[in-house]
Structure 1
Amino acid sequence: MTALLPTVDVRAKRPTALAFLLRLDTLRRAMRLVALLAIDIFSVWVALFVALALKAAWLGSFDASAHAHQARELAPFAILVVLFNFARLGLYGRRSERPGLGKILTGTFQAMVVCMLFALIDGQQFSSYYIFWGGLVAAIVCIGLLRLMYESASGWLLRRTGQQRRAVLIGPAHHSDAVAAALAEDVDSAIRVSGVLTVDEHGARPKRARSLGQVSDLPALLSQGVVDEVIITDPAFPQDLALEVVDQAHRRGVHVRVAPSTMEILVKRAEFLPGQTLPLFELKPPVSEGVDFAIKRVFDLLVSTLILLVLSPVLLAIALGIRLTSAGPVIYRSRRPGVGGKPFDCFKFRTMYQDAEHRQAELEELNEAGGAIFKIRDDPRVTPVGKLLRRLSLDELPQLLNVLRGEMSLVGPRPLPQRDYDRLEEWHKKRYHVLPGVTGLWQVSGRSDLDFDDMVRLDFLYLERWSVSLDLSILVKTIPAVFGRRGAF
């Protein structure tokens, strides 16, 4: 496909070995992280040394060896605080997403405050607090300069090795032309526009990049593997169409970004952002891979193990009650579609008589739930013990074992029985992009009182806003929701 004008000669000789290494995405990410960590670690040590040396020189007692030794003693804790804070602020992210000098200043200042408070709480005495503010100024200058050099050098390497990401713009021609022009002006941009997909087939054709057809042609382009990113250029892009574009791209591991409006561009330019002449806001895929998945998985394992240990007496009492009051197994294995629609055995305490599944067809006309879900408030198939367990949602506790097995998460969209899954509309099934959950926003937002479409929208909202703190909030709110009996039957 034709690149943005002025074109880059793809026949130009490139360092073969270097190009091969940089095309290994995982290796490139590791190289980036190591380089940035090295810069920040070195900068903090240099900043402390410079601050000590300048003060000593002013007082006429300069001793390089002594200052270097003192800097080595002070540096470890300061480095640790700076690295954690920079990671929190996204300063080790991808090139196109890393913030600039403003965040470096903010992160370094916050780290200085933490170090000073720790020193005071630890009872350390200071004749002055120069080491803190002197080290702060030196660190900002050193980190800023070295990171600027890194951005320039890495940008040159990316251009030399042809590592720009291939992007397709989607939107009206005039919006796409404006975005293409802004990207063309950015000499350090890691994005190469391959072409434009327009929404209106009778509208104007783009002038800054090649026309690739209509938005309906996106699946064919994605299937060819020639697109690394999709950029929506129209701030007023139709929501239903945007959801479809995002879904198609995320299924193929392609990132989606939204170009800002003119006012947002002007506001962003108030801060120095290396490599971001045109800031792009990414529509992140659901939490299903990478660091986010690892964090969520560790959280699930630790919390579910703790809950199982604490509630083990309750679990044994429930099992005994089920065994003594009705025939059949204590644990019911409900075959349900999981992530990606792959079926798994969802564990539950048995709350129904053994012939429950065979009797469901005759009860379909009594269904009280909307959409695909089947629920009856006074289901005749439920045992007396089962009614109590369902009322308090205690029948779901065995699903903690599914969490340990990696088939479920503590928080996420609830897995539906196969019967309900088969009746879902296509847009409903987007909730199956992630592991199903033991609890979710359904359970803390009305439970069975909600319309099914509203439940699905809550699932989408959770997927877009996921964080460990949100998971904790939902888990805590699940307790009063259960004991308050809101919408449970």
Structure 2
Amino acid sequence: MGPTVEQSRHFTETIEREPAAGEATPPQDEVRKQLAAGQVEAERGWGKSLKTRLLLTDSAVVLISLLLAQALRFGVSDEELVGSVFGDAYWIISAIIAGLWLLALMITQSRALPVLGVGNDEYRRVINSTLGTFGAVAIAAMLLKYDVARGYLAIALPVGLTLLLATRHFWRRWLVRQRAKGRFTHRALIVGSISDVEFVAGKIFKSPQTGYRLHGAAVRPSQETVVTIDSGHTIPIVATPDCVVDVVKEEGYDTVIIAGTAANGHRYLKELSWALEGTNTALVVASKLVDVAGPRIHWKPVEGLPLMSVEMPQYEGAKFTWKRATDVFASAFGLLVLSPVMLAVALAIKLDDRGPVFFKQERVGIQGSRFGMMKFRSMVVDAEARLRELAAQNEGNGTLFKMKKDPRITRVGGFIRKYSLDELPQLWNVLIGDMSLVGPRPPLAREVAEYEQHTHRRLLVRPGITGLWQVSGRSDLSWEESVRLDLYYVENWSLAGDLTIIARTVKAVVAKDGAY
């Protein structure tokens, strides 16, 4: 059961009471409280420091992009044009746009700590702020009948947005590196049943970039002294859910994570939030609604009751028309630009063993359709016939056959597989509509025959050259994890997500993560 109002009040009074006359505070307790206070102060410090760095960087980018737009639009050599650049009119316009731009970045909370270091929300807020600012300027200029040079805006917008996203990415990578060293993190207490704590903590340990360091757990009475996670991590059990406020104030936690549904759920959460007021402690609730992306979740207040609605996945409409148009344009452009590389790979394969250049294999596509997936041949000609001989040496995830040192791979094949050059012909599959640039891994028919019922949802969209499976470990993933990632993509696809996956794919290919 969760604490009552009287219990919550007792928690606060117990922590805040002064020692009675003649009552000495144990030295170790005093030291512990001082360390806790120092920890909280340090956490506040890094948050302010990071926000300040982002503010300075954003301000510099905004000013540079606007001044660059003035210089490129009006030039700096002709006396009359120099007057336009440095005259009062465009200095005022630039100052107004700069102020509105920075204000929009602040209003959208693009520098809020929860969105930094993980997810696409930070980038989305930066993009919305930028487009909103320039949209507002264009509308205001039209209403006031003031002619702002279109070339000036056409330069400032893309330059500024590109630089903002680039600098945010730089700070994000810096923050991830710092968090890998244990810095710039939230000191967190996780609360719930042991099973819920194990589940949520397992996800957090897999994503250290979120910045949560689990220093303790508050679970219902148990004989255990630690919570052991499948990854091998352990979390000491420091309290029960009824004593969370005491522990937070004594140990200096700055974040309380509620795992799953607490006993006496809504009442416990409400009273806990009241008791934590004034402690600068964030309260985070981990929902059991897993594998649903944020954009699909919407909140609607009804008489003080927050109703959460989950948007159902859509597999047709304008979004998928845009996706198909992007696939056609990008694949055609890729085939044109990469044709010299593809010609060189084809020549190397032919000279290596005089066998065929391409390998065509039947795969299962959207809605169970069959198609021939094209690849540069990276194995010996009779590779399929020799597969049965090697079945016992499978190092893959069970359903998929993989070997780190597959004897069927040719000399040229080893190189092109390492850098994923063998997959370049699949751009043709994308162009004709069999595949997409981003999507679930294209399965073999024998794999589909072994699917469980829910796994067939992978076939609701076109398979992709790359996907979440490729940027999350590729061959190193278990079958269950591969399926989970593919299903997550199918149900939460977005254009912004596709661009992120493509960017991460480039990094994964260069690093050769899980490629064999």
TM-score range, shorter chain: 0.3 to 0.5
TM-score, length-scaled by structure 2: 0.43
